[in-house]
Structure formats: structure tokens, C-alpha cells
């Protein structure tokens, strides 16, 4: 009875050790996945910000309507253009009235404003060099009076996005190193409890590959279980976040999220596999007197 009770206790202890390792790895993978999610959202947000940057093309007063249509169509077909909006002279007056809060036309005998085309850029063209080139190209047209954009805003957005990207990249690299160390230590501790079993198998003539195989297979499955738990936690957090921040749905990308979940799964398997292999190899090479 005592022997049976001791075996039951050992089984429970071993099961508890496995659960502890799986949960520890899952929490680390959850943290990595969460950071990856933040980086993906940051990229989407930066693209959204860039695509709100644009420029205004002011047209000559004598330009014909058919020429305006052709010009707008040509700009829409250009690779840098995301969208265009034509604003006539009369529409420009109405917009100015709203901005000023009064009818400035009461003091003038003519409309001083020009018809214009407002252009929103694709994200990859929203930087100083591209805008300068686009401006130079457009100003060659005799139908265009002026091309205007806020250089300081473009420069500021570009610098801030670069800074945020560098900080996130550095933090991700640091967290990945810490995560690998934590997972490695958790797995080594779980293997440590079986060091005498490993040494006993070695003493009776079992080869190193034969001894390593069951540990590695179990480690891979633990990595899969941990990754699945981490993915479920990330999905739960996303669901809760959307209840409080509905705008998050607009920047969601199912394909990118699928890639993120696959990466989390691969990380769980690879890190668990490598850490288990290294831990078993360490105890295989350890002398018997060093195991106590």
C-alpha cells in the first residue's frame, strides 16, 4: 500500500511538473505574441497615418473642365495615388466660409480661390524624397499653378515612425532573449527531476539518441500545447479589447494574424525542442558524482 501510495504521489508530482512547464512556456509565448501583435498593429497604424498624408494641386484659373478630368484620371492611375478629390472654386469658397465662420465674399468682388485636386498618398510614397519628386513632376504641367504639401508634417511623421519602430525592434529582441532563457530554465528544471533515470538508462547501455527521443517528443508536444494556450489567450485579449475599442476592428488583418499564430506555434515547438535536447545532453554528459 505504501509503495502504491508513493507511486501515485510521484505521478501527481510529475503531472504537476509538466503542467507547470506548459503554463510557464505558454505565458512567455503569450507575451511574445502580444508584442508581435502590437508591432503588427503599429505597422498598420503607421500605414494609416501615412495614407492620410497628401498634397494639394492648385489649378490654373483658365483650365478647362475636360483637362481637369484627364488630369485627375492620370493622377488616380499613378502608383503614388491612393485617392483624389476635386474641389471646384465654388466648393473652395464654402469650405473657407466654414473654416472662418463668416462669409468673406461680402468684402470681395471676385473669387480669389483656385480649383484644386486633393491627393492622398499610398503609404510607401509618404516621405520627403518621393513627395519632392512628385511635386517636381507635376509642376511641369501648364494646367497646374502650384503643388503644396506640409513638409514639416511629413518629416515629423517619418522621424517619429522610425523612432517607434527602432524602440519596438530593440524591445522585441531583448524580450525574445529573455523568453528563450526562461523557457530553457523551466524545461531544464523539469528534466532535472529525471536525471537519475537518464543516467540509469545510460548505464544499462541505452544509446544517447534512444534516451533523448522520448524527452524530445514530449518537449515538442509541450511546446504545441503551450503555443495553443498562448494563442487562445491572445484571441481572448483581442476580443475583450474590441469591446472597449471598436476601432481596432478596422485595422485587423486575418492573414497577418494567421501568420502571427503560426510563428507563435513554431517558436513554441522549436524553443521547447532545442531546450529539451540541450538539457538531456547536459545530464547525459554529467558525471554520476555531480548529480547529487
Residues 103-160: tens digit of each pLDDT: 766 767 777 778 888 999 888 888 888 888 888 888 888 888 888 887 766 677 777 7
CA distance 18 to 272: 13
Q: Does the pTM exceed 0.75? A: no
| CA-to-CA separations, 288 to 24, 172, 198, 201, 283, in angstroms, rounded | 29, 40, 11, 13, 9
CA–CA gap between residue 130 and residue 117 (Å, rounded): 18
As a whole number of angstroms, the distance between CA 228 and CA 236 comes to 12
Tell me how far apart the alpha carbons of residues 244 and 79 are, in angstroms, rounded to a whole number.
37
- Give the Cα separation of 210 and 155 in Å (integer): 61
CB 56 within 8 A of CB 95: no
54-148 fold: Alpha-Beta Plaits (3.30.70)
- Alpha carbons 192 and 277: distance in angstroms, whole number: 13
> When comparing pLDDT for 272 and 252, which is higher?
272
Confidence of residue 287 (pLDDT cuts 50, 70, 90): low
In 3D space, the residue among 27, 32, 30, 36 whose CA is nearest the CA of residue 257 turns out to be: 36
> Using one digit for the tens of pLDDT, what is the confidence trace for 61-114?
888 888 888 998 998 889 988 889 998 888 888 887 787 777 766 767 777 778
For the chain, the domains span 2-48+157-290, 54-148
Amino acid at each position: 500500500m505504501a509503495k502504491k501510495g508513493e507511486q501515485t504521489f510521484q505521478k501527481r508530482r510529475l503531472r504537476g511538473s509538466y503542467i507547470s512547464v506548459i503554463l510557464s512556456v505558454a505565458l512567455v509565448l503569450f507575451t511574445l505574441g502580444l508584442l508581435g501583435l502590437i508591432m503588427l498593429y503599429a505597422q498598420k497604424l503607421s500605414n494609416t497615418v501615412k495614407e492620410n498624408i497628401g498634397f494639394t494641386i492648385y489649378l490654373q484659373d483658365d483650365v478647362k473642365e475636360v483637362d481637369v478630368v484627364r488630369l485627375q484620371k492620370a493622377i488616380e492611375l499613378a502608383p503614388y495615388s491612393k485617392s483624389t478629390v476635386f474641389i471646384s472654386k465654388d466648393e473652395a469658397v464654402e469650405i473657407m466660409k466654414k473654416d472662418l465662420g463668416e462669409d468673406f465674399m461680402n468684402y470681395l468682388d471676385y473669387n480669389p480661390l483656385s480649383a484644386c485636386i486633393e491627393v492622398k498618398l499610398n503609404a510607401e510614397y509618404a516621405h520627403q524624397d518621393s513627395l519632392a519628386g512628385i511635386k517636381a513632376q507635376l509642376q511641369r504641367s501648364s494646367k497646374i499653378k502650384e503643388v503644396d504639401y506640409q513638409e514639416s508634417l511629413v518629416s515629423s511623421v517619418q522621424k517619429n515612425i522610425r523612432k517607434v519602430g527602432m524602440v519596438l525592434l530593440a524591445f522585441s529582441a531583448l524580450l525574445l532573449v529573455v523568453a528563450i532563457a526562461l523557457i530553457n530554465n523551466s524545461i531544464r528544471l523539469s528534466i532535472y527531476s529525471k536525471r537519475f533515470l537518464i543516467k540509469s538508462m545510460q548505464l544499462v547501455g541505452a544509446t544517447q539518441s534512444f534516451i533523448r527521443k522520448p524527452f524530445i517528443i514530449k518537449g515538442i508536444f509541450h511546446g504545441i500545447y503551450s503555443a495553443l494556450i498562448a494563442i487562445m489567450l491572445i484571441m481572448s485579449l483581442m476580443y475583450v479589447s474590441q469591446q472597449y475599442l471598436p476601432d481596432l476592428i478596422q485595422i485587423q488583418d486575418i492573414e497577418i494574424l494567421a501568420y502571427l499564430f503560426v510563428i507563435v506555434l513554431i517558436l513554441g515547438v522549436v524553443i521547447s525542442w532545442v531546450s529539451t535536447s540541450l538539457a538531456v545532453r547536459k545530464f547525459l554528459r554529467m558525471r554520476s558524482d555531480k548529480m547529487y
